[in-house]
Chains A and B, each alone.
Chain A
Amino acid sequence: MVRRGVLAVLVIGALALLTISFRSPTSGALHDVQGYGASALRPFEVAAQRVARPFRDAYGYFDGLAHAKSENAKLRSEVRQWRTQATQYEAQAGKTQDLEKLLRVERGAKYPTDFRFVNTSVISFPLGAFAQQITIAAGSDQGLRINTPIIDGDGLLGHVVVVGPTTASVQLITDPDSNVPARDVTNGVRGLIRHGAGNTLLFDNVPKEQTVQKGDVIVTQGTVDRRYPDLYPFGIGIGRVLQVGTSDIASYLTVQVMPFARFDSLDSVAALISTKQR
């Protein structure tokens, strides 16, 4: 009898917490308590990460050795290609700046010059198949807010969805609920980045009349109209086009994108805090 009573109390307690948490996921007293609780747990998570790091590094080292030779040849060829393109882009960027000044283009904060980077580590990873979210060891005390963009050394990861004093939850761009306005920098085509099959992303909403080619680089679109500011500034690398498909009945191209960011081995990330006055 007693144990059934305890069970009933615990189930009702869990349902009550769930109801309050569901109704106000990003604010309120319970959210504040949760934030302080997460801050208290942070040292334990960081310690666990540090203990596990040598093992992860050892695994990464041997895994890397297995693919090092073929990857080296591929990277050398890519570097040659990028060097040529970088020179062309540099020349074009100079012209673009002059034209923007002339036209008084409103673009919002510029990446990376108008941002300060808050470097931090990942302390927990996606739990199961329900949401692609990670927890990072930085929060409102470090200047993070809801919707703060998060990147790693390779490209865009996502944005902050819940923030506590010293931790924050980040929705990854691989989450099914994530939609990132993006642009093919090679051909100037706009679309939306959504989660795709396996480890890939989908560059969606691209009309069939547009041209997108394998190898094109996809970056964030940024704010086009200042009345509707985008979460992300223009120019954060998202990924490279892996495959372009089309069918007679579909209105849009099927563009598969391989993300630059390595979602399977996230370790250190950076939050982009805008330094530009709004």
Chain B
Amino acid sequence: MNGVDGVKAAVVLFVAAILQVSIFTQVHVLGGVPDLLLVMLVAVALLRGSMFGAIGGFFAGLLVDTATLGQLGLTSLVLTIAGYWIGRYGETTGRDRAHAPFLSVAVVTFLYSFGLLLVHFVLGERAPAGSVTRGLLPAIVLNLILTAPVYALVRRLLRPLDRGDYATEVQLLG
């Protein structure tokens, strides 16, 4: 891990955030909207761990909230937790597993949707659980379609770490 990786991760997340707010939010398929930014964050977090995931999620969320003049911190909060959690999975049980990106994207899409719903609900804003639930399955499918090319691209940019660079707090068996 070095500063170059940080710059590369920042650039891909910046581009993903811009594409998400200006293009991908217009793509509606059966009520679902693909989330390029979330898939990109999952790929970065899986390949570079929880610190990259959390910091990347925070700044990517900040970009989205700034670009849309939305409530600052709202998207950051949910993406920070999502990035950290996926990063931990990548550092421990998810490493070297081919299905890890797909499993992570499916789970994180679900948790991210309901995480946003929860934050809106806590803030006393409109929290349309029915609408979110209806769009969830198409959104998961769309995100899974994006996963393979996005993960391959990020993997080219951020080479997988050596074993010694991973977390040492969790011992793998087998």
Contact = CB atoms under 8 A, between A and B. Distances in A.
A14 B25 contact: no
B83 to A, nearest CB: 9
A164 interface: yes
Interface string B88-124: 0000000000000000000000000100100110010
B25 A124 contact: yes
Contacts of B65: 21, 34
B50 A48 contact: no
Main SS at interface, chain A: helix
A155 to B, nearest CB: 20
B122 to A, nearest CB: 10
B70 A127 contact: yes
A174 B119 CA distance: 22
Contact of B71 (A16, A18, A35, A56): A18
A245 interface: no
A13 B81 CA distance: 12
Contacts of A244: none
A127 B72 contact: no
B10 interface: no
A193 interface: no
Contact of B126 (A15, A130, A264): A130
Nearest to B25: A125
Contact of A48 (B22, B61, B135): B22
B152 interface: no
A273 interface: no
Interface in B45-82: 49-51, 54-55, 57-58, 61-74, 76-77, 80-81
B150 interface: no
Contact of A168 (B22, B69, B113): B69
A30 B72 contact: yes
A128 B54 contact: no
Nearest to A266: B26
B18 A45 contact: yes
27 contacts: A3-B49, A3-B84, A7-B50, A13-B73, A13-B76, A14-B61, A14-B73, A14-B77, A17-B73, A17-B76, A18-B73, A18-B74, A20-B72, A21-B65, A21-B73, A30-B72, A34-B72, A37-B66, A44-B18, A52-B23, A124-B67, A125-B25, A128-B113, A129-B132, A135-B68, A167-B69, A169-B70
Interface of A: 2-3, 6-7, 10-11, 13-22, 25, 30, 34-35, 37-38, 41, 44-45, 48-49, 52, 56, 123-131, 133, 135, 162, 164, 167-169, 176-177, 264
Given A18-B71, A127-B64, 5 more contacts: A3-B49, A14-B74, A18-B73, A128-B113, A128-B135
